[in-house]
Chains A and B, each alone.
Chain A
Amino acid sequence: MRVWDVPVRLVHWLLALLIGFSWWSVHHHHTDWHIWSGCAVLTLLVFRILWGFVGSSTARFSSFVPGPRSLRNYWSGRWSGIGHNPLGALSVLALLGAVVIQVGLGLISQDEDGIYMGPLARLVSSDTSDRARDIHALWFNVILALIVLHLAAIIFYRLRGRKLTLAMITGRAAIGPGIEPMRSGRWWVALICFGTAIGITRWVIAGIPPFSP
C-alpha cells in the first residue's frame, strides 16, 4: 500500500541532495552555487510546509505532529498507523526547523571578502551579516547531528526488520489490517503549492520588496 506520496519523497531526496551539495560547494570555492542551492532549499521548505497543510494524509502536520499522549503510547508499543511515528515525527520537525533556521541565517549572511551577499543581507548591518555567517557555519553541526540521528534510527529499525529507506524510495510499505490507508492529495494542489513556493522564493531573492532598502 502507498504510504508516501511523490511530493514527500521528492522533497526528501532533493533536500538530502541539496544539503550535500551546499556543503560541498561552499568548501570548494563555489559560493555562488552555494547561494543558489540555498534558494532551492528555501523553495523545498516552503513547498513542504504548504503541503503539510493541504497534502496527502501522511504529509500533513495534523496527522503526525505528536502530543505527549501519542508519544507515551508509542513508547509502550500501543501506537499503530502509517506515516511518521510519533518519535520519528519529532525528528522530522527538528530537521525541518533546523534547516529553516539555516536558510534564514544564510539569507542575511555575507562572505568575509564582501564578494557575495545573501538576498536579504541588505536588510541587516554588515556586522550582523558577518555574525550570521559565523553562526550559519556552526549551525551546520546541528543539522549534521540531526542527520546522524536520523540515519542511526533508520539502521536501528533495519536491525529490527523494518526497511524504512525502501518505503521512502518506492512510496510503498506493507500495512497491517485495520489501519487506515493514505488519502492521496490532489496533483493540482501540489502544483499550486509548488508555484507558490517558487513565487515566494523569487520574492525573497528580490529582497522582499517593498521592505528592501
Chain B
Amino acid sequence: MRFVSYVAACALIAAGTCGGWKLGHANGVQGRIDKDSLSATAKSQTAGNSMLMLAVPLSRDQALAVMKARHDGMGSIGDAGKAIHRSLGPTPDLPALRANSQKLVLLSRAASRWFPAGTGPDVAKTRAKPEIWQNAEDFAAKLRNFQAAAQAFDSAARGNDVAAMNARFADLNGTCKACHDKYRAEEKH
C-alpha cells in the first residue's frame, strides 16, 4: 500500500508539472534582427573571453532579438544533430553527414553570441536558466567544449572511418548534454 501511495504521489507531482497543451516552440518571443541588435551582438563579440559580460545593458528589443536568434539557432543545432544521428545509421550517408557537420561547426561558433547578460527568463520566456549568468565561467567552458567537439566531429566526418565518426559524435553529444542538463529548463508540455 505504501508503494501504491508512492506511485500516486509521483503521479500527482507529474500531473502538476505538465501544464497546458503546448507543442513546438518553447520560446514565444517575436524578435527582430535590426541594426541595434546587431551592434549589441558586435559588442558582445568584442568582449572576447568575457562574452557574457556587456558593458552596456541590452535594450529589450535587442535582448528579444538575441533570444530569438538563440532559439532558432539551438533548433537548427538540434535538427543537424538528428540528421547526423540518422545518417550515422547502419548504412552511413556520408554526404548528408558532412553537410550537417559543417553546418554544426558554424552554428557552434555562432553560439558564442547567444548568451549575453540580460537574455534570461526574467526578460522573456526562455529555457535558458539564470544559472548560466551566475556560473558564467563554467558555462563559457562548457560552450568551448561543445565548439571543440563540433570541430573534432567535423574533422572525423571528412575522413572515412565510421567508427571514429561515431566516437566523436558520442563526445559531441556529451558536450550538448553537459550543458543542457545543467543550464536548460525542462520543455513544458
Residues of A within 8 A of B (CB): 13, 16-17, 19-20, 23-24, 27, 29, 110, 112-115, 117, 122, 126, 129-130, 134, 137-138, 140-141, 144, 147-148, 151, 154, 165, 212-213
Contacts and interface: CB of A to CB of B under 8 A. Distances in A.
Given A19-B7, A112-B78, A126-B82, A140 B14 contact: yes
B47 to A, nearest CB: 28
Contacts of B78: 112-114
Given A112-B78, A113-B78, A151-B4, A23 B89 contact: no
Given A137-B18, A147-B11, A213-B90, A115 B4 contact: no
Given A23-B10, A165-B1, A134 B176 contact: no
A16 B85 CA distance: 32
B185 to A, nearest CB: 12
Contacts of A137: 18, 187, 189
Nearest to B170: A115
Given A138-B189, A140-B18, A147 B7 contact: yes
A194 to B, nearest CB: 23
B11 A213 contact: no
Interface in B1-58: 1, 3-4, 6-8, 10-12, 14-15, 17-18, 21, 23-24
20 contacts: A13-B3, A16-B7, A19-B7, A27-B17, A29-B180, A29-B181, A110-B82, A113-B77, A114-B81, A114-B82, A117-B85, A122-B89, A129-B82, A137-B18, A138-B18, A144-B11, A144-B14, A144-B15, A147-B11, A165-B4
Most chain B beta-carbon neighbours within 10 Å: one of A19, A112, A129, A165: A112
Contacts of B181: 29
A137 B77 CA distance: 22
Contacts of B81: 113-115
Interface in B72-112: 77-86, 89-91
Contacts of A126: 79, 82-83, 86
Contacts of A134: 23-24, 189
Given A27-B17, A114-B85, A138-B189, 15 more contacts: A16-B3, A16-B7, A20-B7, A27-B14, A29-B177, A29-B181, A113-B176, A114-B173, A115-B85, A117-B86, A147-B11, A151-B4, A151-B8, A165-B1, A165-B4
Contacts of B21: 138
Contacts of A122: 86, 89
Contacts of B137: none
Contacts, number: 85
Interface residue range, chain B:
35 or more
A151 B21 CA distance: 25
B138 interface: no
A141 B84 contact: no
B131 interface: no
Contact of A113 (B8, B86, B177): B177
A212 B177 contact: no
A57 B173 CA distance: 50
B10 A24 contact: yes
Contacts of B14: 23, 27, 140, 144
Nearest to A158: B1
A201 to B, nearest CB: 20
Contacts of A147: 7-8, 11
Most buried by B among A24, A113, A130, A151: A113
Nearest to A13: B3
B84 A114 contact: yes
B84 A148 contact: no
A134 B189 CA distance: 8
